[in-house]
């Protein structure tokens, strides 16, 4: 199936087919890796390659290209003991200069032939894109749901569920969402430098005009009613979420969410996962579960997500399937930083726009 549907990587509007290779894994004692990204189009001349030749300038000694790369990705281009960079340089007959690990800067590619620099640039960009996809997301776009009335409704829901369903498998207090963090996730982003965060904020500001047109410059009145689960078996649930609908019966919220994702996907800062955004406000999640084994591991985080313990949601769905959390007027879209919270307890905002 992987041969029939190979992974594709978009570099400057050109789709490259990602050939399957064996990825070598090394101990991180040198904090670098080896990886070779073969491209179906790697032998194309520069004028047909996917890289932006406007990035390549002619110098007295040949050709030069400088690209901004987050420093956390340098190690993937360097490789174990510099093997990946050496291989790229030999294959493309170029020189690739990379800042020292931990230092921000540009990766500079030089060579005597423009086609050689173009080929090296494309390979480096494929490496960056390949390993960027393996990074956990750092930021997310969301509609905050932490209005006072919704928080109060959520706390009542939590209290009643624990009172009526605490005997059901896997249900205990730690798997409930923090009421200050209630939100609807629109999409996730991997932003690995201050420059990328700044660009994401700029892209968000670019969305303000079409959002204002869609909402007619007014807040969106919403009602948070009912709960639903993510998987197929209500007896083994990992995520339970609250359903959110527009009070006026329109699909404006869905349209705004879809347009936001479309804009960020076009800008290359978000990967499209679904044709339409699945709007959900998480109220229970087994990833929140306190990990009693973490102390034995020296506090090194939770267990592997694959080992998370599901809970039996059948009685929750039966007794609270139409639960009324409350109503709110949605006024903003936020770009938030994962794991970081502000003084209110909500996620730290990197940027936001209003619906008006």
Chain segment 222-263, per-residue pLDDT in tens: 999 999 998 889 999 999 999 999 998 899 999 999 999 999
Compute CA distances 96 → 88, 240, 316, whole Å.
8, 49, 58
pLDDT value for 6? 56
**Which residue, 235, 230, 226, 80, is CA-closest to 157?**
226
Dihedral, CA of residue 178, residue 179, residue 181 and residue 182, to nearest 10: 120
Task: Please state which CATH number belongs to domain 7-132.
Answer: 3.30.1370.10
Q: Name the residue ranges covered by the structural domains of the chain.
A: 7-132, 139-354
Q: What is the largest CA-CA distance in the chain?
A: 77
Alpha-helix residue ranges (DSSP H) falling in the chain: 74-78, 83-92, 114-132, 148-165, 194-206, 208-215, 252-266, 314-320
Q: What is the mean pLDDT of residues 134-146?
A: 94
Q: Helix 252-266 to helix 194-206 angle, to the nearest 10 degrees?
A: 140
pLDDT value for 261? 97
The H or E element that residue 296 is part of is: none
Segment 197-225, tens digit of pLDDT: 999 999 999 999 999 999 999 999 999 99
Q: What is the mean pLDDT of residues 55-79?
A: 92
Please check whether residue 170 is in contact with residue 285, taking contact to mean a CB–CB distance below 8 angstroms. no
Separation of alpha carbons 62 and 308, rounded Å: 55
Segment 165-199, tens digit of pLDDT: 999 999 999 999 999 999 999 999 999 999 999 99
Please check whether residue 22 is in contact with residue 37, taking contact to mean a CB–CB distance below 8 angstroms. no
pLDDT value for 53? 60
Q: How confident is the model at residue 7 (pLDDT cuts 50, 70, 90)?
A: low
Task: Please state which CATH number belongs to domain 139-354.
Answer: 3.90.1140.10
């Amino acid at each position: 199936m992987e041969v029939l549907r190979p992974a594709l990587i978009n570099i400057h509007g050109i789709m490259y087919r990602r050939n399957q290779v064996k990825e070598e894994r090394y101990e991180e004692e040198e904090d670098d890796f080896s990886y070779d990204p073969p491209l179906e189009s790697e032998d194309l001349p520069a004028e047909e390659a996917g890289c932006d030749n406007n990035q390549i300038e002619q110098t007295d000694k040949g050709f030069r290209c400088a690209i901004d790369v987050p420093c956390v990705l340098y190690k993937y281009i360097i490789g174990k003991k510099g093997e990946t960079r050496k291989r790229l340089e030999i294959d493309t007959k170029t020189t690739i200069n990379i800042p020292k690990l931990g230092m921000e800067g540009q990766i500079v590619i030089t060579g005597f032939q423009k086609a050689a620099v173009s080929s090296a640039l494309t390979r480096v960009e494929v490496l960056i894109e390949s390993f960027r996809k393996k990074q956990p997301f750092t930021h997310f776009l969301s509609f905050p749901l932490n209005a006072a009335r919704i928080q109060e409704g959520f706390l009542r829901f939590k209290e009643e569920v624990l009172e009526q369903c605490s005997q059901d498998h896997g249900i205990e207090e730690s798997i409930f969402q923090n009421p200050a963090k209630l939100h609807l996730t629109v999409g996730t982003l991997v932003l690995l430098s201050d420059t990328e965060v700044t660009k994401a904020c700029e892209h968000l500001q670019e969305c303000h005009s079409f959002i204002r047109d869609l909402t007619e410059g007014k807040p969106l009145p919403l009602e948070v009613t009912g709960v639903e689960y993510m998987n197929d078996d209500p007896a083994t649930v990992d995520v339970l979420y609250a359903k959110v609908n527009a009070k006026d019966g329109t699909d404006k919220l869905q349209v705004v969410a879809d347009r936001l994702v479309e804009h960020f996907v076009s800008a290359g800062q978000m990967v499209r996962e679904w044709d339409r955004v699945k709007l959900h406000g998480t109220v229970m999640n087994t990833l929140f579960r306190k990990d009693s084994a973490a102390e034995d591991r020296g506090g090194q985080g939770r267990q592997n997500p694959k080992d998370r313990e599901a809970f039996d949601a059948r009685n929750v769905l039966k007794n609270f399937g139409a639960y009324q959390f409350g109503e709110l007027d949605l006024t903003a879209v936020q770009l938030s930083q994962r794991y970081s919270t502000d003084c209110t307890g909500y996620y730290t905002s990197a940027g936001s726009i209003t619906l008006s």
